Amino acid sequence: MESPPKGLRWRKSSLKPVQITKRSHHDTSSSGGSNDDNGVYMVASGEEQPLSPASRMFHEPTFNVYIIAILASKCPINTNLIYEKLPLTLLKHPRFSSLQVVDDEKGQMKWVPTNVNLQNHIIIPTIPQNLNSPDEFLENYVYNLSKSSIDSSKPMWDLHLVNLKTSDAEAYGILRIHHSIGDGTSLMSLLLACTRQIQNPDAVPTVPNSKDSNSGWFSSYSLRGEGVWWQRCCMSIFMVVLLVWNTVVDVGYFMATVLFLKDTETPLKAPDGSEFNPRRFVYRTVSLDDMKLIKNAMNLTINDVALGITRAGLSQYLNRRYGEGRDDKGATEKRNNLPKKKIRLRSTLLINLRPASGIQALADMMEKNTEAKWGNWIGYVLLPFTVGIRDDPLDYVREAKATIDRKKHSLEAMYTFSIAELVLKFFGVKAASSISHKIITRTTLCFSNLVGPLEEIGFYGHAMEFLAPSSYGQPHGLMINFQSYVNKMTIVLSVDENIIPDPQNLLDDLEGSLKLIKEAVYAKGLVKETGLQQATFT
């Protein structure tokens, strides 16, 4: 989703970097700490700050969410190098060297700078010898992580270094962060700010901007342009009226969902209490060039294509689940296993409304001690998914584009954020958390598409094979994340196995849908010979 309009004024939420120094052997001994002189203890000095309302909400029992970022490396991980580089980068961010404690006087939570013992944050698991399936070991390792929480007596993050060669990479870094530290987009930007280009080690990654980023949620209609002045004026008035109407409808739909409106009970819909179940994380890397080809051929965006693939994949998966025990005679638009009654299936998008700092600003904060914006300002967008088999695979992406274009011309996220702020102000964190929980439990899934670097990057000198972000602790039984990197797109699923016992089959459906849509583009002669490699992201 896009950034808010430039004309809006936001409360200041800048962070100053903390000062990190290496505690000497003499200091640790005199203070009664560890006698280890390997530079494990780091001293952090910074300012105490209150937790934002959204951060406090992530501490509610039904909304205790953790972000997982899987960093696949092309080479074995040098653990000594990680110990050396972390204090110079990630630990300088105040949220990664602060405790979240309750203020005894005010009864509210606040960030308190603290010493950081890297041995408590960097975990190196023991790898059994003669593994039959390294891939299965890694998958189960991440699954077991989702069964646990991070001790709140330390900064709520850890980094697991798994030196295990699998079919996809030589080694893995698994970064786990409590969602109260920041939103997914900001945390991914911070992670990328710790990386550098392989071909240019002094440069941060290049992440493409949306071609519509300057217009925010407002579509780019202007009184300037072609046509008679009164026609342009009438069109502008019409678009403002449409913006207001769309916003009223979306906010009304949001309020109905808070009060009573639920998605259809399908094999994808999680029951109450799913947030307490562990998550199975699976991923599949597909060709980003194939998605660009579809994008250019149909004048779409990468986001349109990703959403179209998801609609197609979910429809194929549900058709098979509803058809279990029946003879498979092939599905068509008129003859399939899906219920005759229309399925209401929606995704909840949690949108951070605070303008993003950007990778360079975060890198400067860690390297040059400058300030950077940070914080969770969460708004909601309810994104409907049309479920149905289509004889023409291109209909999936056409419908996706229509949905996204409609959502772009609405201030839904801004007003749902304002509603949550009012509830928080007058009724407290528990009431605001209850609204969030109702919205998520009454929808079916969470969907996101994150734009990654254009060039190959290294994390502290380790060249990356791919990036795979996701989360656990959310009430949804299914989360779908698309993450681009160079010429690859990694599709990541976080699933409750009680709901989706066969996530690899769902990945097969998503990958197969991309193939079907690509073949349809060729079959209809939509592929252009020029400009295919000049794709842009949105």
Question: Could you give the residue numbers annotated as active site?
Answer: 179
At residue 158, the 3 state secondary structure works out as: strand
**Which candidate, 474, 310, 483, 482, places its Cα nearest to that of 385?**
310
Per the document, the length of the chain is 538
Are 453 and 486 in contact by the 8 Å Cβ rule? The answer is yes
Backbone φ/ψ region at 206: left (φ over 0), alpha (ψ -120 to 50), beta: beta
Distance from the Cα of residue 476 to its chain's centroid: 14
* Distance separating alpha carbons of residues 243 and 217, to the nearest angstrom: 10
**Cα atoms in the 13 Å half-sphere on the side-chain side of 470:** 27
- Token digits for 525? 């002669």
| Assigned token pair, 244 | 């207001």
Which pairs count as long-range contacts for 181-184, CB under 8 Å and 24+ apart, including other chains? 181/55, 181/95, 181/96, 181/156, 181/157, 182/95, 182/374, 182/375, 182/376, 183/350, 183/352, 183/376, 183/378, 184/67, 184/448, 184/450, 184/469, 184/471
Q: Exposed e or buried b for every residue in 71-90, given b needs 16+ CB within 10 A?
A: bbbeeebbeeebbebbbebb
Distances (CA, A) of 135 to 139, 140, 494, 512: 6, 9, 16, 22
Ramachandran quadrant class, 358 (left: phi over 0; alpha: psi -120 to 50; beta: rest): left
In the three-class reduction of DSSP (H, G, I as helix; E, B as strand; rest coil), residue 156 is classed as: coil
Cβ atoms of residues 23 and 117 within 8 Å: no
